[in-house]
Amino acid sequence: MKKFLVLQIGALVLVSGALGGLVAVTPVYDEVRSGIVLVLCLSCLKLEPNTLANFTFQTADNQSHAGFVLENLSQGPVFLHYSGDACAGCDVMYPVIKDLFSIEFGKQDMFSSIVAFENTSVPYIYVNIHHTIDELRNAQPIYDKDHVGGIPMFTIVTLGYDNGDVKPKYTTLYGTLATYGCDTDAQRLVFLQQLLRQSIEMYNQNKEGYHHH
Amino acid sequence: MKLQIKRLISQILLFFSANLGYPGYPGLKTGFCYPFFYCQACPAATSACPLRALEQSVDKGSFAWRLFFFPLLIIGTLGILTGRAVCAWACPIGLLQRGTGRVARKVKKTPLARKLGSHKAEKYLRYTKYVLLMSLVFVTSYLIGFIFTDICPVGFLTGTIPVLILNPGKFVPNFFFPVALVIFVLFLILIFIIERGWCRYFCPVGALLAPFNKISFLHIAVDIKNCIHCNVCSYECPMGIDIPNMHRDPECILCGKCVTACPNQLITFERKGR
């Protein structure tokens, strides 16, 4: 009887102590909050957002553009790719993006590069929300155009002309692009290429007027 | 106050506390994992599904130790204190099955159900939840990246359906939707024909909690010496346990129905000891 009680108390102290230590010493609480609770995996939701691939000046909730996006925008239209672990939709899109820009990187890497797309420089920024820094992760809600709050998510930020000013203009796509009529990798690739060409055209029309300090 | 009323109040309060995350009402989003089965995809969810954290921790051959141990330690702490009581006193899916239990109890009286319920294979079927936990939460996640939460009926009920209702026209089904829908329909049939059918046979979170019944402080004790073997307790048990012959049974969810039902008050909640 006493031995059993000692076993129970020992187990409780060990397990609850380990839990307290884990929460106090490691960033696991923030990892779960920012990586699971706040940003959903759309595959787990079993749904694809039914959104339009239109370009807009207005960021989600009128937030300011991310500093790293504005900096990169002076080099070309910025392609932001939000992905995550244990996300079937992200796994579908990962090779498509690698094909699109002819690049190689690990799914859990932090990766950014100026890539060439049809002779135009495109700053490509890959963000695995489970393996990234706050600055990149925090930019996800800014470009969550349709308030979906899910991954995979793709944003192309280019330049547009608005009431006498050249400003960043962007569009955001979600999921595996099924709602844009893309069911195969080839269709996804063609769709993204078309959208990139459109964004490059807009960029080239407006880049003279863009000044970022 | 009657024990079962207390349990109902506990279930309702914990259902609401699990749903404090809806933006503005009050929008509480924490970094904890639920110690029961509930989906973070629910628009009002406050925390993460423990299975999702586990799956993510072993995604495609990787091992994120913090994410692996965090849900296990949360479940372990509660498990050592109260065993599987979480299933009966806190889990929203338990509350749902409490509602469907009336129908299931009527089905239970049919000759076919009696025959199937007493079949010797029934007790082996209960191991399905452990197989499901090991295979779809750990093994397939680790080896090929296929995860249970992509086809989870609880996620479908608490995540997919509310999102579709609250955002009409904003979402369309993805490639997992048809499979998840079929599993969800089977889940509904199950909980209407077998009392606590999900908890008994399939719940992976129940499989995580069940072993803690063996060492938990809180448990059900039967005074077997004075038992008259009327079997009222076993008949009342929603988990179909042979109560007089159980000792810290991993299937026991500590709902207390046997405690209430025993005509001689020989079944009690105990807080410590064997």
pLDDT in tens, A182-206: 999 999 999 999 999 999 999 999 9
Q: Quick one: pLDDT at residue B274?
A: 66
Residue B235 falls within a domain, yes or no?
Answer: no
Please answer yes or no on whether B32 and A29 come within 8 Å at the CB atom: yes
Structure-token pair, residue B85 = 């009581």
Q: What is the nearest CA distance from A192 to chain B, expressed in angstroms? A: 19
Q: Nearest-5° angle of CA B41, CA A173, CA A184? A: 95
Residue B186 has pLDDT above 70, yes or no: yes
Q: Convert the pLDDT of each residue in B42-86 to its tens digit.
A: 999 999 999 999 999 999 999 999 999 999 999 999 999 999 999
Q: Can you point out the beta strands (E) in chain A?
A: 40-41, 47-49, 78-83, 111-117, 120-128, 150-151, 153-162, 165-174
Q: Quick one: pLDDT at residue A120?
A: 94
Please answer yes or no on whether A47 and B272 come within 8 Å at the CB atom: no
Residue B195 falls within a domain, yes or no?
Answer: yes
Kind plus residue range of the DSSP H or E element containing B191:
helix B177-193
Q: Quick one: pLDDT at residue B256?
A: 96
Residue B32 falls within a domain, yes or no?
Answer: yes
Nearest to B177 among A27, A46, A86 (CB): A46
Question: Closest by alpha carbon to A67, among A165, A149, A136?
Answer: A136
**Confidence class for position B119, pLDDT limits 50, 70, 90:** confident
Q: Quick one: pLDDT at residue B108?
A: 87
CA dist B218 and B22 (Å) reads 34
Q: Quick one: pLDDT at residue A79?
A: 97
Average pLDDT on B210-225 reads 96
pTM > 0.90: yes or no: yes
Q: Which residue has the tokens 């995996």?
A: A41
Residue B24 has pLDDT above 90, yes or no: no
Mutation for testing the B interface, residue in A37, A40, A185 having most B CBs under 10 Å: A37
Identify the domain containing residue B112 by its residue range. 3-218
Q: What is the CATH number of domain A41-209?
A: 3.40.30.10
**Confidence class for position A2, pLDDT limits 50, 70, 90:** confident
Q: Quick one: pLDDT at residue B272?
A: 73
Q: Give the count of domains, chain B.
A: 1
Instruction: State phi, psi for B99 to the nearest 5 degrees.
Output: -70, -40
Q: Quick one: pLDDT at residue B62?
A: 93
Residue B115 has pLDDT above 90, yes or no: no
Q: Convert the pLDDT of each residue in A35-79 to its tens digit.
A: 999 999 999 999 999 999 999 999 998 999 999 999 999 999 999
Residue A212 has pLDDT above 90, yes or no: no
A108, closest residue in chain B (CA to CA)? B62
Domain ranges of chain A: 2-37, 41-209
Q: What is the nearest CA distance from B202 to chain A, expressed in angstroms? A: 19
Q: Quick one: pLDDT at residue B116?
A: 81
A127: left (phi over 0), alpha (psi -120 to 50) or beta: beta
Q: What percent of chain B has pLDDT over 90?
A: 91
Q: Quick one: pLDDT at residue A213?
A: 60
Q: Quick one: pLDDT at residue B120?
A: 84
Q: Convert the pLDDT of each residue in B148-179 to its tens digit.
A: 999 999 999 999 999 999 999 999 999 999 99
Question: Can you give the C-alpha Rg of chain B in angstroms?
Answer: 19
Contact list in A for residue B33 (CB cut-off 8 A) is 32
Average pLDDT on A170-191 reads 96
DSSP tag of A136: H
Contact list in B for residue A51 (CB cut-off 8 A) is 170
Q: Convert the pLDDT of each residue in A102-114 to its tens digit.
A: 999 998 889 999 9
Question: Closest by alpha carbon to B18, among B65, B64, B56, B50?
Answer: B50
Q: Quick one: pLDDT at residue B42?
A: 96
CA dist B222 and B242 (Å) reads 11
What rounded mean pLDDT belongs to chain A? 94
Q: What is the dihedral of CA A115, A119, A122, A124, to 10 degrees?
A: -30
CA dist B244 and B230 (Å) reads 10
What rounded mean pLDDT belongs to chain B? 95
Q: What is the nearest CA distance from A169 to chain B, expressed in angstroms? A: 23
